Amino acid sequence: MDKTIRDHGGDIYTEGQLRGRELLDFSANINPLGIPKSFKENIKSILESAVNYPDLKYREAKENIKAYLALESSKYEIILGNGAAEIIDLSLSLLKKVCIAVPSFGEYRTSALKYDIDIEYSYLKEEEEFHYDYEDILRKLHHCDGLILGNPNNPNGGIIDKKAFQPILDFCEENSKLIIIDEAFIEFTGEPNRSFLQESLQYQCLIVIRAVTKFFALPGIRFGYGITTNSKVAESIRSKQLPWNINTFAEVSLKYIFKDKEYIESTIRYVNKQKSLLTEGLRKIPFIEKVYESSGNFLLLKLKDITDEEIFESCLQRGILVRRCGNYEGLNHSFIRVAVKDRKSNDTLISLLKDIHI
């Protein structure tokens, strides 16, 4: 099987569309409210812009990002990417040896391997609820020139404890190491101060990566961005990019979606409510040993007496796609991940799982 298919969620094609059937996809973690109305309502003006090349310097897009994130200082540099994945990839390309906190998004490892970068893993331990092991990370950073980790982390939804992380920040700043913080899911926390954007004003060792992919339910327009106050890092990344790497749909959509307060607020309320209900329902399923606390819009589940492959197959037969976790570095076949979707879909998942007898 093509490796990318096993490494990622969201493959509704192989077993779904290409076989003429619709799957209910719990494997990709996309905002269940769907594409913002503000995007759909302005699609005509966005479409009309497609006749021109985008602004080579993407000035308006960057201003929209600054306004959305209230980045007032002129020290912030913004780098735009074809999804968060492009910025993750190019940030990693600057390193020689990286510490990757795992389990985590598989592209960290894939990109590092692509550039022949040595990898040192810092394992999040099951017996410690998959919290980051800050002391271990710090120890490993003595012989790495960079670190990448998620905030919140995929697949468990864990968030960085800022107090425990402080020694790592100080060490990296003093020793010119790069910290790449992937905040692709941060907006779902509803707590802007969980982000490291403020810290990056003082700490040049930081690059924070965001995307419209997950929170604004727009994986198809491929738009992510990196923020740093380290102009050398920003320039090194930009020098590896193609001109016009961002398409018009992504460029122009920002001016609508970032101002859509109603969508932003209702997403946070809705996802939190559905996450609690889904967690409650999943905790009643006999073969689910544990549902981990998550700050994202997805849940990591520990299975009992059944494998991720068996659950995957049973769900697939009934038209539901879940994310097997056996291929995550640092996990095994006893874990799956499910997205938090709308109430009706979540109920469908729970009743399907109740029907699986082992």
Decide if residue 103 touches ligand PLP (CB under 6 A): no
Contact with ligand PLP (CB under 6 A): which of 30, 35, 78, 85?
A: 85
Which residue in the set 181, 206, 211, 336 belongs to the binding site for ligand PLP (CB under 6 A)? 211
- Coil, strand or helix at 228: strand
The yes or no reply on residue 295 touching ligand PLP (CB under 6 A) is: no
Pair of tokens at residue 299: 């849940």
| Minimum separation from the CB atom of position 102 to ligand PLP (A) | 12
Instruction: Tell the smallest beta-carbon distance from residue 184 to ligand PLP (Å).
Output: 4
Helix (H, G, I), strand (E, B), or coil: what is residue 133?
A: coil
Question: Residue 23 or residue 281: which is nearer to ligand PLP going by CB?
Answer: 23
Q: Are 115 and 92 in contact (CB under 8 A)?
A: yes
With respect to ligand PLP, which residue has the nearer C-beta, 167 or 219?
219
Cβ at position 196, least distance to ligand PLP in Å: 15
Q: How far is the CB of 158 from ligand PLP (least distance, A)?
A: 12
The amino acid at residue 71 is: L
Burial class (CB in 10 A: 0-12, 13-18, 19+), 256: buried
Total number of residues binding ligand PLP (CB under 6 A)? Answer: 12
Listed ranges 48-56, 81-89, 127-135, 162-170: which one lies at the site for ligand PLP (CB under 6 A): 81-89
Does 32 contact ligand PLP by CB under 6 A? no
Minimum distance of ligand PLP from residue 296's CB (angstroms): 8
Residue least distant from ligand PLP (Cβ): 83
Smaller CB separation from ligand PLP, 72 or 191:
191
- Tell which one of 83, 103, 158, 281 touches ligand PLP (CB under 6 A): 83
Which residue, 271 or 281, is less far from ligand PLP as judged by CB?
271
Binding status of residue 92 toward ligand PLP by CB under 6 A: no
Residues 6+ positions from 289 with CB-CB distance below 8 Å: 302, 303, 304
By C-beta, is 218 or 311 nearer to ligand PLP? 218
CB of 90 to ligand PLP, least distance (A): 12
Measured from the CB of residue 107, what is the shortest distance to ligand PLP in angstroms? 7
Residue showing tokens 């864990």: 158
Least Å from the CB of residue 286 to ligand PLP:
29
Separate counts of helices (H) and strands (E) for the chain:
14, 13
Token pair of 316, please? 């697939």
Supply 48's token pair: 């009309």
**Residue 156 touching ligand PLP (CB under 6 A):** no
Q: For ligand PLP, which residue of 16, 167, 190, 219 counts as binding (CB under 6 A)?
A: 219
Among 36, 150, 281, 330, binds ligand PLP (CB under 6 A): 150
Of 219 and 319, which has the nearer Cβ to ligand PLP?
219
Nearer to ligand PLP, 192 or 220 (CB): 220
Is 106 one of the binding residues for ligand PLP (CB under 6 A)? Answer: no
Residue closer to ligand PLP (CB basis): 155 or 281: 155
Residues in contact with ligand PLP by the rule CB under 6 A:
83-85, 105, 150, 154, 182, 184, 211, 213, 219, 224
